[in-house]
Amino acid sequence: MKQKLLKIFLAIALCLMGSVVFGQSNKDIKITFFPGGSEGGSFASVVYRGARLAEKDLGVTVEYVWSAWSSEKMISQFKSAIARNPDGIAVMGHPGDEAYAPLVKQARAKGIIVTSQNSELPANEAMYKAEGFGYVGASNYSAGLNLGKATVVRAGLKKGDRAMVWGLLAEPSRGLRTKGAIDAFKAAGVIVDYIEISPNINSDASQGAPVFASYVISHPDVKAVILDHGALTATAPNYMKSARKKAGDIYIAGFDLSPATAKGIEDGWISAVLDQQPFLQGYLPIVQIYLTKKFGFAGMNIDTGAAIIDKSNIAVVAPLAAQGIR
């Protein structure tokens, strides 16, 4: 059903763009967009490419604000964006509903359309849905739960086996994905060790190698690890090497595709990832703001979560990952 709704939404958007937009400038529509991470980052760069294509297709003017995955930066940058008075702001939902609520209210009082991507803001979405507040991204808890369940089955985990989840439980909305993965392990009777991704590793995944190696050395019986972060997943081969492990010694599962992650899957370092299609998380929020601004459309909630990618199907999507589309 969700796939059908997405196809319908895209068809409507393309029809509108074909009849109203192409060949026509909409540069007077100004949008501030948050790709989330740092410029050039494995996940944020794919989000950015999607937004850039929407900017080109629609002819709107977009300002990009990079946050290094810092919730504090996202809040301060949102405040600054409101002061610049664009027509719309597309935010990453990591800081959570409570932190964003007064700022969304302030933006709406100024007539600024607000929508979100990547991490859900259900309370704000419910309050401002009629005014264009939508969501584009995976359902975080379901995504984590699904990857956790798949890891239990594919890694052959049994009751009493040990697994580690490296995630972001401290973030109200974003942390739901981590919680889903942990819940899936616990439901199967798996012993779960949890590590919170520190701010420095959140912004620079390469700094996580000593943490991973220290954990694996002190827990030699660990059979599976879920890395709840696209950049950490992409860095998994280096993590394994730092712990003096061979490809396949530990079942490594994570999120999001990138050229590095695709190669990690092909080479056997990474066992599986759940691809939430970040390109769409860039493209569709721009379309959302445009459609609300031009035609008064309400916010649309689009789940971009996709099937799990592993060695059996990586060949299909690897060329797209190399292009920064998947």
- Residue-wise pLDDT for 103-147, tens only, equals 999 999 999 999 999 999 999 999 999 999 999 999 999 999 999
Tell me the average pLDDT across 148-174: 96
Give the model's confidence band at 176: pLDDT under 50 very low, under 70 low, under 90 confident, else very high.
very high
pLDDT of residue 326: 83
- For the chain, the average pLDDT equals 93
The reported pLDDT for the residue numbered 172 is: 86
User: What is the structure's pLDDT at 23?
Assistant: 44
Is the pLDDT at 242 greater than 80? The verdict is yes
DSSP one-letter string for 4-42: HHHHHHHHHHHHHIIIIITTS--TTSEEEE---S-TT-T
> Measured between alpha carbons, how far apart are the two ends of the chain, in Å?
22
Question: Which residue has tokens 């890395």?
Answer: 227
- pLDDT score, position 7: 52
Q: Please, what are the domains in the chain? A: 2-138+276-306 (3.40.50.2300), 140-274 (3.40.50.2300)
> Hunting for tokens 């991704």 — which residue is that?
197
Instruction: Name the nearest CA neighbour of 219 among 163, 289, 142, 155.
Output: 163
